[in-house]
Amino acid sequence: MISGKGGTGKTTFSATIHALDGGVIADCDVDAPNLHILLNPRILKAEDFIGTKKAEIVQDRCSGCGLCYELCRFGAISADGYFVDEKKCEGCAFCFNVCPEKAIEMRDVKTGDIYFSETQWGYFVHARLKPGEENTGRLVTEVKNRAKKVAEDVGSDFLIVDAAPGVGCPVIASLTGVDAAIIVTEPTASGLSDMMRVLELCEHFRIRPFVVVNKYDLNEDVTLKIEKYCSENEIEFAGRVPFDERILEQIANLSFPFSGKAAEKMVECWKKVKEVL
């Protein structure tokens, strides 16, 4: 489940599919995960994610020459006692390589958490990256690979992956190895433009795309443009989902699974995708 921009409704769609068919689901938006809010999972296991190495000065070996302080372009080393500010350190290891006393070590640093959980409808693998940390794509890959193994172990027919918005590294990591991608877009100029960017990404990785227009009735002219684009480019159009204020109320009240006309249409779109696949 992907989208060219945030706020199109892909997480809502992913949660609805999971509640309908169960199986295994993975939240691969590790920078801003929110699927757990709807699914209310019970965490069975949590693991540290070691995504990088950062410098640490061993005080017993440090001669106080100040070379590391002078050369660190990130300002991560303090001249007052010579220690490394972990929040500023980028892990480039330049100080480690230039230190004449070999007083700097590169040590593993926890940059996030990976969770294996159980929902009312099946299993759920998700994660959270610490604020400001990098290696988002690597953590996404970890989440997806672990979810895939769980799906194989329990004999699930499919694995639902809720990806981050956009076309960057986290999305590419989410798409690697998948059979199909449901692109959830909205009837706006930016929604159409971002959808086309995501379609280019799917074409590059030879992934079969399906397009769903969420809140289609807010601008039916653009919805028609999206449908026309899909028809002209032989892209499977999975359906339209209407705007439904009850979904907003249900999200605010953490009332899930959703009910109403929008929820019903999401189910119809998913059934059409399954029939094609």
Q: Of the ranges 13-17, 78-82, 223-227, which one carries the lowest mean pLDDT score?
A: 78-82
* Type of residue found at 207: I
Q: Which two tokens stand for residue 132?
A: 């400001």
**At residue 245, does pLDDT exceed 80?**
yes
- pLDDT score of 150: 96
Angstrom distance (rounded) from CA 191 to CA 70: 47
Task: Give every CB contact of residue 57 below 8 A, 6+ residues apart in sequence.
Answer: 68, 77, 82, 83, 84, 103, 104
| CB distance 52 to 135 below 8 Å | yes
Element (H, E) at 234: none
Rg (CA), the chain: 23
Q: Of the ranges 53-67, 134-148, 178-192, which one carries the lowest mean pLDDT score?
A: 134-148
**At residue 218, does pLDDT exceed 90?**
yes
CA angle 192, 196, 202 (to 5 degrees): 140
- pLDDT score of 101: 95
User: What superfamily would CATH give domain 10-40+119-276?
Assistant: P-loop containing nucleotide triphosphate hydrolases (3.40.50.300)
Mean pLDDT of all residues belonging to the chain: 94
Mean pLDDT of 82-104: 94
Nearest C-alpha neighbor of 276 from the set 208, 212, 216, 206: 208
* 180-185 β-sheet, strand order: 180-185, 208-214, 236-241
Angstrom distance (rounded) from CA 104 to CA 101: 8
Percentage of residues of the chain with pLDDT beyond 70: 100
Every domain of the chain and the residues it spans: 10-40+119-276, 53-110
Angstrom distance (rounded) from CA 51 to CA 150: 22
Classify domain 53-110 at the CATH topology level.
Answer: Alpha-Beta Plaits (3.30.70)
Angstrom distance (rounded) from CA 18 to CA 257: 10
The size of the chain, in residues, is 277
Confidence band (pLDDT; 50, 70, 90) for 81? confident
In eight-state DSSP terms, residue 23 is: E
Instruction: Give the model confidence (pLDDT) of 126-174 as tens digits.
Output: 999 988 787 689 999 999 999 999 999 999 989 999 999 999 999 999 9
- pLDDT score of 80: 86
Tell me the CA distances in angstroms from 256 to 10, 11, 29, 38, 248, one per residue in order: 15, 13, 20, 6, 11
| CB distance 53 to 93 below 8 Å | yes
Q: Which two tokens stand for residue 186?
A: 């909205």
Farthest CA pair distance, the chain = 70
Tell me the CA distances in angstroms from 177 to 55, 195, 207, one per residue in order: 35, 20, 9
**At residue 225, does pLDDT exceed 80?**
yes
Give pTM, 2 decimals.
Answer: 0.89
10 Å CB burial of residue 227 (0-12, 13-18, 19+) is middle
